[in-house]
Amino acid sequence: MKGLRRRLVLGAGVLALGAVAFGATRLQARVERTSTVPTVRVRRGDLPIRVHTLGELRSARSTMLLGPAVGGALQIVAIKPTGTVASAQDVLVEFDPSEQEFNLQQARSELLEVQEEIKKTNLEAEIQSAQDEVALLQARFAVRRAELEVTRNELVSAIDAQKNLLNVEEARRQRAQLEQDIPARQKSNRASLVVLEEKLAKARLKMQQAQRGIEEMKLRAPVAGLVSVQENRGIFGGWRPPGMTFPEYREGDLVNPGAAITEVLQADQIEVKGKVDEADRISVSPGLSAEIRVDGMPGVLLHGKVKSVAGLAARGWGLPSQKKFDMVVGLDKPDSRLRAGVTTEVLIIGAELRNALLIPRQAVFEQEGKLVAYVPAGSGFEPRDVQVKQRSESFVAVEGLAEGTLVALVNPEDREAKGKKEGSSAPSMGGGR
């Protein structure tokens, strides 16, 4: 009986020791889990707004030169390369003018032919007019002579008198016919000249168009600026092979009328175009000052102001979550050394947010579409909703947390899940029989 009691007491003691050990192990695990998550306290202070981004110089004003509107394809025989500094009226692109020169020769030949026809028609009209004038004089003379013969009818026989009357009627009829035919011929000649004049005007217009076509075979810079040759998008019929870029236009390429060939960028109207992340969009607004550093110009610091910021994210090839917003920065003073297409570093200087609650940027996490910060709760952490007022490169001004509150710098849920995975995969250290 005493042995049974001793065994029961011994078993109860072992169970108690096991429970204490198990509880201590769980408590230690909780303490270790909490202590292994780095934390920082919410502090109150001023937040200077600084946004860094990359940009590219571009011209605020530019002129695109298009392929001339002529029939058929055009072949480039000379073109100024990208980066050429052009003056106003400099020839930037030349096309093969053979077809236009042939059209000019043909138009000139037609013009000369019509001019000869007009000369011939005028000469024939002058000759005909002289002949008609002589014929009309002769007809009038014949009428007058026949009328004189009629006055002698009393002195001649009845038959001769009748002949004289018939002669007067015939002479008068011929005179009347001439007086009717001559104006009709003159009107017909004038109509023929009008038709020829129209043909002459068309021939001159065709010749002018041919001359203009030859002049359009040379594309000239309308203003002074920097040349930027465009991509030849017609090289594959307008289809872009995946992962391949179009080459620029060069000598020998065929160009369709109206195609964009080259662009003239005005050097005195340079601005910076860049993109800002979605997280920084709230900190950027028109009118903010900016500092610009240009690649290839070490030690040169340019100043400007934000001109515009897009309200919608730009479309691109990146991930859907990586939203970017277009931004344009204007320079306070133009610099003749600047060239479009050069990369820049842009620092946007925003207004300082004073007396704000600040935490590091890495202490803010996204959970189910909301922004949260993890604060200690019991033996672990719990998410707490926060509202972001402003961001800088390192800190975030938030609402929803009290000053002095501890927040996690890493996601404790991710770390806990990772720890469980590593613990389940660790080998057993217990011995066996």
Residues 6+ away with beta carbon under 8 Å from 41: 404, 405, 406, 407
List the structure tokens of 93.
């692109």
- With contact defined as beta carbons under 8 Å apart, do 293 and 301 qualify? yes
Residue 247 lies in a domain: yes
Give per-residue burial for 10-49: e unless 16+ CB within 10 Å, then b. eeeeeeeeeeeeeeeeeeeeeeebbeebebeebeeeebeb
Per-residue pLDDT tens digits of the chain, which is 433 residues long: 445 455 544 555 545 555 444 444 444 444 444 558 899 999 999 888 888 899 998 887 888 999 998 877 789 999 999 888 889 999 999 999 988 889 899 999 999 999 998 898 889 888 888 888 888 888 888 888 888 888 877 777 888 888 888 888 888 898 888 888 888 888 888 888 889 899 899 999 989 988 988 899 999 999 888 888 988 887 766 566 666 678 889 999 999 888 899 998 887 778 899 999 887 888 888 999 999 999 988 888 999 999 999 888 876 544 455 688 999 998 888 776 777 778 999 999 887 888 999 999 999 998 888 899 999 988 889 999 999 888 887 888 999 899 999 999 999 887 666 655 555 554 443 443 3
| Residues 179, 118 within the same domain | yes
Domain count, the chain: 2
| Residues 114, 192 within the same domain | yes
The residue segments making up the domain with residue 225 are 61-96+219-264
- Predicted pLDDT of residue 351: 77
Adjacent-strand bridge partners of 95 = 76
User: How far apart (Å, rounded) are the C-alpha atoms in residues 195 and 200?
Assistant: 9
Residue 294 lies in a domain: no
- Predicted pLDDT of residue 23: 47
Which amino acid is present at 348? I
Residue 422 lies in a domain: no
Residue 75 lies in a domain: yes
- Predicted pLDDT of residue 393: 76
| Residues 92, 223 within the same domain | yes
The Cβ-side half-sphere exposure at 425, using a 13 Å CA radius, reads 6
Residues 6+ away with beta carbon under 8 Å from 330: 60, 271, 272, 304, 305, 307
Among residues 175, 200, 215, the one where a domain terminates is: 215
Which amino acid is present at 245? T
SS3 content of the chain, % helix, strand, coil (to 5): 40, 30, 30
User: How far apart (Å, rounded) are the C-alpha atoms in residues 361 and 115?
Assistant: 86
Q: Which of 139, 133, 134 is nearest to 167 (CA)?
A: 139
- With contact defined as beta carbons under 8 Å apart, do 58 and 292 qualify? no
User: How far apart (Å, rounded) are the C-alpha atoms in residues 415 and 421?
Assistant: 10
Triad 140, 142, 147: Cα angle to 5°: 95
In whole angstroms, how far apart are CA 182 and each of 139, 170, 185?
13, 18, 5
- Cβ atoms within 10 Å of 57's Cβ, excluding its own: 21
4 burial class (0-12, 13-18, 19+ CB within 10 angstroms)?
A: exposed
List the structure tokens of 330.
């204007």
SS3 25: helix
- Predicted pLDDT of residue 326: 92
- Predicted pLDDT of residue 75: 92
- With contact defined as beta carbons under 8 Å apart, do 249 and 75 qualify? no
- Predicted pLDDT of residue 21: 46
User: How far apart (Å, rounded) are the C-alpha atoms in residues 278 and 311?
Assistant: 11
Residue 142 lies in a domain: yes
| Residues 202, 173 within the same domain | yes
In whole angstroms, how far apart are CA 360 and each of 42, 261, 395, 408, 409?
9, 50, 4, 10, 8
pTM above 0.85, yes or no: no
Residue 49 lies in a domain: no
| Residues 109, 202 within the same domain | yes
| Residues 194, 252 within the same domain | no
Q: Which of 401, 336, 413 is nearest to 373 (CA)?
A: 401
Adjacent-strand bridge partners of 301 = 293
- Predicted pLDDT of residue 25: 45
Among residues 264, 284, 299, the one where a domain terminates is: 264
Residue 334 lies in a domain: no
- Predicted pLDDT of residue 384: 92
User: How far apart (Å, rounded) are the C-alpha atoms in residues 67 and 51?
Assistant: 42
- Predicted pLDDT of residue 430: 41
Q: Which of 162, 164, 160 is nearest to 148 (CA)?
A: 164
User: How far apart (Å, rounded) are the C-alpha atoms in residues 275 and 54?
Assistant: 7
- Predicted pLDDT of residue 374: 94
| Residues 207, 166 within the same domain | yes
| Residues 159, 78 within the same domain | no
| Residues 181, 204 within the same domain | yes
Phi first, then psi: give them for residue 299, nearest 5 degrees.
80, -5
- Cβ atoms within 10 Å of 222's Cβ, excluding its own: 12
Alpha helices in 216-277 (DSSP H): none
User: How far apart (Å, rounded) are the C-alpha atoms in residues 130 and 135?
Assistant: 9
Among residues 264, 280, 300, the one where a domain terminates is: 264
| Residues 169, 210 within the same domain | yes
| Residues 210, 116 within the same domain | yes
Q: Which of 425, 385, 418 is nearest to 401 (CA)?
A: 385
Query: CATH code at 225?
Result: 2.40.50
| Residues 129, 193 within the same domain | yes
- Cβ atoms within 10 Å of 421's Cβ, excluding its own: 9
- Predicted pLDDT of residue 33: 47
CA 32 to chain centre: 59
Residue 235 lies in a domain: yes
